[in-house]
Structure 1
Amino acid sequence: MTENTTGAAQTAATAVAELPRTGWLRVRASDRAMLANLERQYGLELHIATQHPVYVAGFTILPIELPLPAPTEAGSQRETVFESARIVVALTDDLLITVEPDHPVAALATAQLRVEQLPEAASSREALLLIIDGLNDAMQNTVDRTSLLLNQLASDAVDSSGGYRFEGRQVGVADIAQTAVSLGGAEELIARTVQGQLMLERAARRVRRASGGSSAAYSTLLSDIQGGRRHARFQHSKVRNIQQSLMTTLDLKQNQIIKVFTVVTAVFTPPTLIAAYYGQNFANMPELALPWGEWFVMGTTAVFALVPLAYIKRKRWLR
């Protein structure tokens, strides 16, 4: 199985050269000249986005869109960022064409090494199976990284239930909101992963149908894809559980805030009523003429303030 890759230096030559009829032809999505040549010689308009498999000019067109880790510099410590990698596969019995993103896709590089080991008589479908298998492994890597992120978010959710961070400050509503935003991003990533796995499974089924057989290789590949999708859906369930835990914690914190205001209101309402009474300036207030009248009013105010507080503490409403 031969492999051909178009680069910037080859663009001018490939624009007019006769394209191969066998092997694996890799094309960059930004190579407009090569895409125009594919349209001219094969009748393929691979630059037009499509979401469903189609049959054009004897080719089976299979769109695949996957969330893959963005390339990072060696030794970089920044958080892994996932980018959407759109790959368009055009397939006949002898020729395999892939339109790939401009940035390198590690899964395709690994698949290329495996394809090069195939015998010359190998069909394009066998090469595509190796490519799908490599992309499925990349999807599993994405799910594994998401699982590690969810473990950290689960720890944050536990901290938000009333614990403290390493800085010594109590976790507040802002921390819960930040964790919820991160969970939303993880949920979106998992949804895109499941969608990508469905595209891989659909591509594998199309290839098996076109080959007219049901070999063990197809069955094993489909089982691997379905197992990865079940793992991704399990991670999605974990996201929902953490989100539910966060919402419960947020409700509890809001209830605690309301409880504090309720206790303060209960303690200060009696003194407020007494102050309002003596602020009326009635003409006849005999207790004001008593030598101990001021202390009497102050003591009464204190008693009426402490009685609700003692009752609240007795009922343990402050816990």
Structure 2
Amino acid sequence: MIFIHQPVTEAGHHLLERRAVNLQDVIPEDTLWLDLIRPTREEELKVEEFAGIEVPTREEMKDIEPSELLYVEDGARYMTGRVLSKVSESEDPGLAGITFILRGNRLITVRHEEPQAFRMFAQRAGRATSGQNQSVVASGDAILAGLIEAVIDRAADVLQLQGERIDRLSGSIFEVQDDPSARNTALQDTLRALGRHGDLISKQRESLVSMERILLSLSATYRTNKAPRDLREDVRSTLRDLQSLEEHATFLSTKIQFLLDATLGLVNLEQNNIIKLFSVMAVVFMPPTLIASIYGMNFKTIPELDWSFGYPMAVVMMVVAAVLPYAFFRWKKWL
């Protein structure tokens, strides 16, 4: 699908008007931002003909080589980054590849997912709020800077939420519980939760690193081309915010590793206590077993030898002696 954003003025405020474009429609020349979401080949050809660029394929957007992610071709600057998407309780988080293409005063974005940061920016750019959107629609470069800033803002929200959840997990790990079975279940749940949080934070950090590459490239380009001072200051400020978030993500990763080590240590302690109990029980039953092994229960006055139900009783006792410990261990959730 192709969405275009055109500059409009409403009540003295400069905004971006977003609307969808069909294949038979003509793209207006004053379009500042073309947003391609899961484009078909026909839609790619339409944008390529209008903007004079080559739209990268989804496979090309997955490359990890810097030369394939940041390059200039036919006067257009291509920048591909990864943004976290589908962050919710019911969906697994993933990294969506997004390509930003700057050609003259126009921005083209190519993506196959819909990160929340893009929706946030589009809503903000299309809403008049105290004239804060005037710089948003000034040029394609300004729109790109605003999009990256929205991505960073979203990353800050995700890291803050994960930090709060990790703090709650930290309290539950070191909380004293009297019920060993509940303790074991809680530790297993904690291990799974730490794994989920660690995976999300690592993906968020990977996204920040890809955005940092784009910002460093933009900063060098703007410095060489002597871009407007305000735009260069915005890029530098966003870069500083991003680097501080990277440090925070590293701190959270270190904390998760500490909590993971602590949880595994507590699990080992619980297992050692269970093994200790088994060892004590084995020692308790060792003397009777030793005496029975020496004498073999070969006595003339054993009443059970003359009982007609002595053998069935012995079989039942053996079964009960095997089932009772197994049921006890299951009840204590040691098995």
TM more than 0.5 = yes
In the TM superposition, what are the counterparts of 1:52-71 in structure 2 within 5 Å?
Answer: 52-70=69-87
Q: Secondary structure at the match of 2:43?
A: helix
1:141 to 154, 157, 177: 157
Once the two structures are aligned, what percentage of the paired residues are identical?
A: 21
Match of 1:35 in 2: 44
Partner Cα separation in structure 2 for residue 120 and residue 246 of structure 1: 47
Deviations 1:227-251 (A, max 9, x none): 1111111111111011001110111
Partner Cα separation in structure 1 for residue 47 and residue 298 of structure 2: 97
Sort the Cα spacing of 1:282 and 1:97 in 2 relative to 1 into closer, same or farther, 3 A.
same
1:277 to 294, 301, 305: 294
Match of 1:198 in 2: 209
1:268 to 282, 285, 307: 285
Deviations 1:265-309 (A, max 9, x none): 2222112111222216499xxxxxxxxxxxxxxxxxxxxxxxxxx
Sort the Cα spacing of 1:234 and 1:70 in 2 relative to 1 into closer, same or farther, 3 A.
closer
Structure 2 unmatched runs, 5+ = 1-5, 8-15, 64-68, 127-132, 301-335
Deviations 1:42-91 (A, max 9, x none): 231233432422222221111121223447xxxxxx66753433322111
The offset of 1:208, in angstroms, is 1.6
Sort the Cα spacing of 1:223 and 1:142 in 2 relative to 1 into closer, same or farther, 3 A.
same
Q: Secondary structure at the match of 1:13?
A: coil
Verify: 1:163 aligned to 2:177, yes or no: yes
Structure 1 unmatched runs, 5+ = 72-77, 284-319
The amino acid that maps onto 2:296 is G
8 Å Cα contact 1:29/1:102 also seen in 2: yes
1:151 to 167, 171, 176: 167
8 Å Cα contact 2:125/2:137 also seen in 1: no
Higher mean alpha-carbon deviation, 94-103 vs 130-139, is at: 94-103
8 Å Cα contact 1:6/1:26 also seen in 2: no
The amino acid that maps onto 2:210 is M
Match of 1:97 in 2: 108
Match of 2:329 in 1: none
Higher mean alpha-carbon deviation, 106-115 vs 236-245, is at: 106-115
Match of 1:247 in 2: 264
TM-score by length of 2: 0.70
The amino acid that maps onto 1:131 is L
The offset of 1:262, in angstroms, is 1.2
Q: Secondary structure at the match of 2:182?
A: coil
The offset of 1:256, in angstroms, is 0.5
1:111 to 106, 121, 129: 121
Partner Cα separation in structure 1 for residue 87 and residue 296 of structure 2: 71
Q: Secondary structure at the match of 2:24?
A: helix
The offset of 1:137, in angstroms, is 0.4
Match of 1:225 in 2: 242
The amino acid that maps onto 1:46 is P
8 Å Cα contact 1:69/1:142 also seen in 2: no
Partner Cα separation in structure 1 for residue 93 and residue 37 of structure 2: 20
Sort the Cα spacing of 1:247 and 1:217 in 2 relative to 1 into closer, same or farther, 3 A.
same
Sort the Cα spacing of 1:36 and 1:142 in 2 relative to 1 into closer, same or farther, 3 A.
same
Partner Cα separation in structure 2 for residue 39 and residue 182 of structure 1: 45
TM-score by length of 1: 0.73
8 Å Cα contact 1:201/1:225 also seen in 2: yes
CA RMSD, aligned part only?
3.0
Partner Cα separation in structure 2 for residue 239 and residue 120 of structure 1: 38
The amino acid that maps onto 2:238 is L
The offset of 1:173, in angstroms, is 3.9
The amino acid that maps onto 2:167 is N
Q: Secondary structure at the match of 1:12?
A: coil
8 Å Cα contact 1:6/1:27 also seen in 2: no
Sort the Cα spacing of 1:148 and 1:188 in 2 relative to 1 into closer, same or farther, 3 A.
same
